[in-house]
Structure 1
Amino acid sequence: MRVRKLTFAALAIATALSLTACNDEDLTGQADPSSTSTGSSAPDDAGSDGSGGSDEEGGKGTVAGTGSNENGEIGKCRTDELEITASDATIGGDTEGTVAVEFKNGAGRDCALAAYAGVDLGTDSGMISAERAGEPVDTTILKDGKSIFFGVTYPMNDSGGSGVRVTSLVVTPPDETKSVSIEWPGEATLPVTDGGGSSVKVGPMGSAGQGEG
């Protein structure tokens, strides 16, 4: 009986030790996958929310800025960027005199010109402002280094009198406030008017000379 009791006790101890060993192995096995899962998810999180996402947004911003510079609105032609000259363009037999004004683009870039420039004639009787001739036309893009011409028409002084003496041609590019005063190349005098409106007309861009060239 004593031997049998000892045997049962030995078996009970062996069984308890075996169960303890199994539990330890299970716990150890569960810890490893948990650690591995946490380690693999960290790079994914960093890739989606970290530098990868920021770099992509930064790239789009840079491209958008470049696109805006390339495809955005072209700036207007500034007075200081234009070489402004004028020449007599009257054709024999015309009932009106014509002066062709040239804008040459020296801006180092393309620039935009609205339909009409401002034109005033300095005379010994004061300034005469030219009126626009006809309906407005579209804005013109003037390429760098290229020229465009427009006409200024005025009545001939066939009255036999001294008329109004022209002293200068004052030109203001479209949408600009700075003017340039140059020599008037047309007839020296204009007929005296009754004050019923300006007899001097300014045409839109491309209305005289060689157009755009």
Structure 2
Amino acid sequence: MRLRKTSAVIAAAVAAALSLTACNGEDTSERGAAASAPAETSAGSGSPSSAGATDTTEGSGGGDGQASASASASGAPSASSAGGICRTADLSFSSSGGMAEGEVLINLENTGSASCSMHGFPGLDLTGEDGTVSAERNSGRSVPSVTLAPGERTTFSLYFPPNTSGGSGVTFTSAVVTPPDETRSHTMPLSVNIPAGSGSASRVTVTPVGSGK
């Protein structure tokens, strides 16, 4: 009888131990699951960081766009400094005396907001009640390239035979000036008197822009 009781006690103790081990195993599994939960949270918190990186990249793209715009804007002044064609609307016209009788300087001033350039002969017509004479090009002159900053000016010369005949001659009261490479003209007051006769008109000439004294 004692052996059976002892065996029964041992069996009960083993069963209790096994039951406790099973309970401890379940606790361990639950703790393992709980321990793995923070890892998922960290991964989740990593997602906002990833979105932030995307925003930063987009911000960098915006910065590149500003740099390109700045480069494009900085390229504009270079083009201006190189000199676009001087337009009639951006020029003022005046006249002054030349070095000798029969010469008039025509002054062209850049009144625009950017630099401009001219190269070549201007067009010039003398007009008055007696008619119109178109100035011819004065051959044998070099043709410089002229760049005018805002406020700067250049000149060309108008040559004509002065009327020393003692007669009334032919009088012109205005000049119609067309800058090189332009189609629009400007009419300015200019008094010129040349001898009457067909030969006088052929002696009305202009020099290239930039060659005036």
2:132 aligned residue: 126
Residue 92 (structure 2) pairs with residue 83 (structure 1): yes
| Distance change >3 Å, CA 12–CA 132, structure 1 → 2 | farther
2:39 aligned residue: 33
Once the two structures are TM-superposed, the CA of residue 10 in structure 1 deviates from its matched residue by: 1.5
CA distance in 2, matches of 1:40, 1:190: 97
Percentage identity across paired residues of the two chains: 26
Residue 29 (structure 2) pairs with residue 15 (structure 1): no
Paired residues of 2:156 and 2:211 also in contact (CA < 8 A): yes
| Distance change >3 Å, CA 126–CA 49, structure 1 → 2 | same
1:52 aligned residue: 59
Once the two structures are TM-superposed, the CA of residue 89 in structure 1 deviates from its matched residue by: 0.8
Paired residues of 2:143 and 2:209 also in contact (CA < 8 A): no
Once the two structures are TM-superposed, the CA of residue 185 in structure 1 deviates from its matched residue by: 4.3
Which residue, out of 167, 181, 184, partners 2:187? 181
2:114 aligned residue: 110
Paired residues of 2:194 and 2:200 also in contact (CA < 8 A): no
| Distance change >3 Å, CA 161–CA 58, structure 1 → 2 | same
SS state at 1:72 partner = helix
Which residue, out of 178, 201, 206, partners 1:202? 206
Paired residues of 1:158 and 1:191 also in contact (CA < 8 A): no
| Length-normalised TM-score, structure 2 | 0.73
CA distance in 1, matches of 2:100, 2:200: 27
CA distance in 1, matches of 2:196, 2:116: 33
SS state at 1:183 partner = strand
Paired residues of 1:103 and 1:148 also in contact (CA < 8 A): yes
Where do 1:149-168 residues align within 5 Å? 149-155=155-161, 165-168=171-174
Q: CA RMSD in A?
A: 3.3
| Distance change >3 Å, CA 164–CA 22, structure 1 → 2 | same
Paired residues of 1:88 and 1:100 also in contact (CA < 8 A): yes
Once the two structures are TM-superposed, the CA of residue 101 in structure 1 deviates from its matched residue by: 0.5
2:3 aligned residue: none
Once the two structures are TM-superposed, the CA of residue 151 in structure 1 deviates from its matched residue by: 1.5
Residue 104 (structure 2) pairs with residue 99 (structure 1): yes
Unaligned runs of 5+ in 2: 1-6
Q: Which letter does structure 1 place at the counterpart of 2:44?
A: T
2:152 aligned residue: 146
CA distance in 2, matches of 1:184, 1:46: 73
Q: How many residues align?
A: 201
| Length-normalised TM-score, structure 1 | 0.73
Paired residues of 2:170 and 2:196 also in contact (CA < 8 A): yes
